[in-house]
Structure 1
Amino acid sequence: MEAEVQQGQQSPEGQLEKRPPSPPWAGIPLQRGLGHRVRQHVNPLQAQYQQPAPPPHWERVYRRLGQPFHLDIGTGSGRFLLRIAQEQPDWNFLGVEIRQALVERANAWRDELGLDNVHFLFANINVSLRHLFAPGDLSRVTILFPDPWFKKRHHKRRIVQPQLVADLALLLRPGSPVFLQSDIQEVAEEMAARFLEHPQFWDPHQGPLDSNPLGIPTEREWQCLQLDLPIYRYWLERR
């Protein structure tokens, strides 16, 4: 775990963190519980996760199909995506998550909020990505606080693998951003390095960012900010 920093001080990477006054989803009435425990870690290499998920009927999911498309990979509870969907009604959002119970609850929350520009899909993104979209479909991608899989023998379970990067290079429109975040420096740097190894991606900022340019934290990001823990962020772009 990274060393703590005091509020108003700089983190080891020179990142000045500021705590938001309250969670941005605090005003969203999300009352539905899961009713049971959900495993925090799911091995994406298990046989049950090797079948591509069929794409949804997009015209039934989104009211306005012509809007730019934001893909959030490993969306977790979905609170981040629900909030950004409220703030950016001129975008369509898809959150992909490998834990089915979280997907079902997030879609129920979406229905309760009456949102028609966000959807959640149960899938292993490393298997399903190229079956869900056509080249140029995506305008923005976020990968925020993915499972770090600390043990070296488990690194092959991490989301950002060379094939995922190659698929995103095909599916993203030129100039589209890829936003990466982690509270584990090694994980953030590895994600960024794998994208930058591909000739279609570059780093316009030439290093990590000081703050979240989207302005809406995930739950993990919020927890880190409350504890004054450093967060490592990269904003890359498709050439």
Structure 2
Amino acid sequence: MTGPPNKRQKRDEYRKAQEKLKAGVNGTEGGKIELPKKKFYRQRAHANPFSDHALQYPESPANMDWTTHYPAFVEQDTEKNIAQAMTKEVEIADIGCGFGGLLIGLSPLFPETLMLGMELRTQVTDYVINRVAALRAQNQSATERYTPYQNISALRSNTMKFLPNYFHHAQLSKIFLCFPDPHFKQRKHKARIVSAQLNAEYAFVTKPGGLVYTITDVEELHQWMVKHFVSEEAGDARELWERVPAEELESDPCVKVMSEETEESKKVTRNGGKKFIAVLRRKQDPEWPN
């Protein structure tokens, strides 16, 4: 006599059912596409960025195929009916995107801007990918070229190692670092997503005038991130960043979404915690000395 299915069996059955519903979008099955359920995508809260995760990544930005991520923004050859090239580049990156709340919140604000969530945890990445697919299916239209949520996607990557493999120089206009792992122990500080070395990479892929948004509920981490962007702790990278004044943030819709729409921000609100926000602006490149 067999007992009730365990958690893994339930998860596998759920995934198979979701795949059948996805097939129904193409007319093979039929059925309502529902948003994925988090309980079937459970994983540890954090992943070690220094571990060998056997990730696949492009050799350079020129080798990255974005057509499968944003099919609505692919130029089609009408005569041969084949995909040609992307009509736009990715401009916004959510590093450590979690369950994708920020992407979902930003998508309708910038419908013509391509956004990418980058996450190291496998199950969490799968959840975001399936969430975006479900939202696209629920909102698909035969008359509109760009239906909702066609401008967002996600992939699994370790940005501490491979960020320049995805984006060329001065490609991004916005980078979001929302509630990163604080790594409280001093010996773990090297794993923080903000450091002098990483900030130089952020400067490389961000266009002059572009912004890096940071938010956390840990005041010490907030001070660390600001310090490593604009103080002497930042080394040479401090010449490339300046902090955006607080009065400018009041009119920035991205700050509102970042503070209210992500899963972590909602959790902090429920628990009555504080949120510490800093936005850094990419300066113009300094002139080479004569």
| TM-score, length basis structure 2 | 0.66
Mapped contact 1:30–1:109 kept (Cα < 8 A): yes
Unmatched tracts of structure 2, length 5 or more:
1-33, 74-86, 137-148, 284-290
Which secondary structure does the structure 2 equivalent of 1:163 belong to?
A: helix
Q: Structure 1 CA distance, aligned partners of 2:98 and 2:207? A: 25
Instruction: Give the structure 2 partner of residue 168 of structure 1.
Output: 202
Q: Structure 2 CA distance, aligned partners of 1:52 and 1:234? A: 32
Which secondary structure does the structure 1 equivalent of 2:108 belong to?
A: helix
- Amino acid in the other structure paired with 1:237: R
1:188-216: CA deviation from partner (whole Å, max 9, x where unpaired): 11112112132110013179968984222
Instruction: Give the structure 2 partner of residue 223 of structure 1.
Output: 267
Say how many residue pairs are matched: 210
Instruction: Give the structure 2 partner of residue 53 of structure 1.
Output: 57
Mapped contact 2:173–2:210 kept (Cα < 8 A): yes
Is 1:76 the counterpart of 2:76? The answer is no
Correspondence for 2:122 among 83, 97, 100? 100
Which secondary structure does the structure 2 equivalent of 1:225 belong to?
A: helix
Which secondary structure does the structure 2 equivalent of 1:175 belong to?
A: strand
Is 1:204 the counterpart of 2:244? The answer is yes
- Name which one, 1 or 2, has greater alpha-carbon Rg: 2
Instruction: Give the structure 2 partner of residue 234 of structure 1.
Output: 278
Is 1:32 the counterpart of 2:37? The answer is yes
Mapped contact 1:182–1:231 kept (Cα < 8 A): yes
Q: Structure 2 CA distance, aligned partners of 1:132 and 1:235? A: 23
Which secondary structure does the structure 2 equivalent of 1:180 belong to?
A: strand
Instruction: Give the structure 1 partner of residue 167 of structure 2.
Output: 133
Instruction: Give the structure 2 partner of residue 185 of structure 1.
Output: 219
1:13-51: CA deviation from partner (whole Å, max 9, x where unpaired): xxxxxxxxxxxxxxxx634345253011211111336x5
Greater helix fraction, Structure 1 or Structure 2 = 2
CA RMSD of aligned residues (A): 2.4
Aligned-residue offset at 1:68: 6.2
Q: Structure 1 CA distance, aligned partners of 2:180 and 2:251? A: 18
1:95–1:206 CA distance, 2 compared to 1 (3 A):
same
Q: Structure 2 CA distance, aligned partners of 1:155 and 1:178? A: 20
Instruction: Name which structure has the greater RCO, CA cutoff 8 Å, separation 6+.
Output: 1
Structure 1 stretches of at least 4 aligned residues deviating more than 4 Å after TM superposition:
206-213
Q: Structure 2 CA distance, aligned partners of 1:36 and 1:110? A: 15
Aligned-residue offset at 1:146: 0.3
Mapped contact 2:95–2:159 kept (Cα < 8 A): yes
- Amino acid in the other structure paired with 2:45: Q
Instruction: Give the structure 1 partner of residue 82 of structure 2.
Output: none
1:156-202: CA deviation from partner (whole Å, max 9, x where unpaired): 11111222211111111110111100000111111121121321100
Mapped contact 1:52–1:128 kept (Cα < 8 A): no
Mapped contact 1:208–1:233 kept (Cα < 8 A): no
Instruction: Give the structure 2 partner of residue 156 of structure 1.
Output: 190
Which secondary structure does the structure 1 equivalent of 2:197 belong to?
A: helix
Instruction: Give the structure 2 partner of residue 18 of structure 1.
Output: none
